[in-house]
Copies of this chain bind each other. A is one copy, B any other.
Amino acid sequence: MEQQTTLKGACIIGQSGGPTAVINASAYGAIRAALDAEAITKVYGAEHGIKGVLNDRLYVMDEEDPAELELLRNTPSSELGSCRYKMKDPDKDDTDYKRILEIFKKYDVRYFFYNGGNDSMDTCNKISKYCQKVGYACRVMGIPKTIDNDLFGTDHCPGFGSAAKYIATSCMEVSKDSTVYDTPQITVVEIMGRHAGWLAGSAGLATHFGAGPDLIYLPELDFSMEQFYADVEQVYARKNKVLIAVSEGIHYADGRFVSEAEVSATDGFGHAQLGGLAVRLADALKARLGGVKVRGIELSLLQRCGAHLASGTDLAEAELAGRAAVEAAVAGQTDRMVAFRRVTEDGQYRCEVELLPLADVANYEKKVPLEWINAAGNGMAQGFIDYALPLIQGQPERPTVASLPRYAKLKKVLAK
């Protein structure tokens, strides 16, 4: 939807869902573009996403030191605060929507930018449609974000490239570390991604460069403990050491997550175990292979916030996504999400921005194509490498103090 007339008023920028290494770069792109836009009279940052709107907790971004704002590029996690808040169907309960409208009117908000993943685009879509329904002029734009890379309609998501780079680099290092003795060792690395295997697949970049997992398991395929044992035993027989990467979301054919499956004798979990998936699988292999040394490593939050290892490409694209959302809205667009289209010319990767209807992207999940998984179902095919490698390129300059990261220090002045 495009509106030709100039719309003057304030804007709100909100961050939502799980943080990433570069979501603040998107915030910076949006805030900077909004501060520079003539049509935008005031720039508010919502504290903890939509909750900040509902609670009338808005930070005045115009009050911030520009140099500190720029350091948002260097600051992992969601500096404005995030939330996981599911908006109700406005046809059933419009309480929240009325409140949002009230706040929009109070601050003359005519632009709303929401930065997040699937659920956040749903929020964004509902608010956009509600404003249209009640005839309140507000341009609403979604800015994509998720390390999980499962947003529909965009080639990839800001946040994924940096997480992928962290995972690949860490797997290379663990591969080196876990093979140092002449004694047998099995190491299982657990990687985020409940429903899509983009992140676990990124461990395949390490393997591609000769120091990565021997076996990789994604949630796109059903997991079989018997096949897993057979795969591991084959590698183990050959070299006495096995490095395995698993997505946290691997599941049996009946849909049960391996991480949550009932303890049973048949699947090798002979006694109650409460550790994470990596520890459970490592212990099962220890029992199976007769006391071999095992280690489970969960990359946990580290893979999500590893800003010191951010991909330069991802960082630049995250900022671009924020800026593009503001510029498109000021130019008349609304009800859209910023998306990326990949252009490959002469083997060179290039990323172009396009705008997708919010309704088309909200709530759909994009999974790893099965042809990018190897035939044995335990590793990545070249298609995945070709897809992921351009996204992790570039080591940006990272401001430091005493060789430790220097993060943005915002004043966070609340609007009255």
A 375-416 binary contact with B (CB < 8 Å = 1; else 0): 000000000000001001111000011111101000000000
Which residues of chain B come closer than 8 Å to A206, judged between CB atoms?
404
**Could you list 14 examples of A-B contacts with CB < 8 Å?**
A19-B176, A19-B180, A76-B176, A77-B179, A84-B181, A165-B403, A173-B301, A176-B305, A177-B305, A187-B301, A209-B401, A309-B309, A392-B403, A394-B403
A313 nearest CB across to chain B (Å): 9
Nearest 5 CB-CB pairs, A to B? A275-B275, A77-B176, A177-B305, A173-B305, A82-B180
A394 — nearest CB in chain B belongs to which residue? Answer: B403
CB neighbors of B among A12-54 (8 A): 19, 47-48, 51
Interface window among A62-70, A92-100, A292-300: A292-300
**A-side interface residues toward B, CB under 8 Å?**
19, 47-48, 51, 75-78, 81-84, 165, 168-170, 172-174, 176-182, 187, 205-206, 209, 211, 272-276, 279, 283, 295, 297-302, 304-309, 311-312, 389, 392-395, 400-405, 407
Which residues of chain B come closer than 8 Å to A272, judged between CB atoms?
272, 274
A396 nearest CB across to chain B (Å): 11
Which residues of chain B come closer than 8 Å to A170, judged between CB atoms?
302, 306
Q: Is the CB of B389 within 8 A of A393?
A: no
Q: Is the CB of A402 within 8 A of B393?
A: yes
| Interface contacts beyond A81-B182, A169-B405, A274-B274: sample of 17 additional A-B pairs, CB < 8 Å, sorted by A | A47-B182, A75-B176, A76-B173, A77-B173, A77-B176, A84-B181, A173-B302, A173-B305, A173-B308, A173-B405, A176-B305, A205-B404, A209-B404, A274-B275, A295-B301, A312-B403, A389-B402
Q: Is the CB of A308 within 8 A of B180?
A: no
Q: Is the CB of B306 within 8 A of A173?
A: yes
Alpha-carbon distance A277/B274, docked complex (angstroms): 12
> A300 and B301 in contact (CB under 8 A), knowing A19-B176, A76-B173, A181-B81?
no
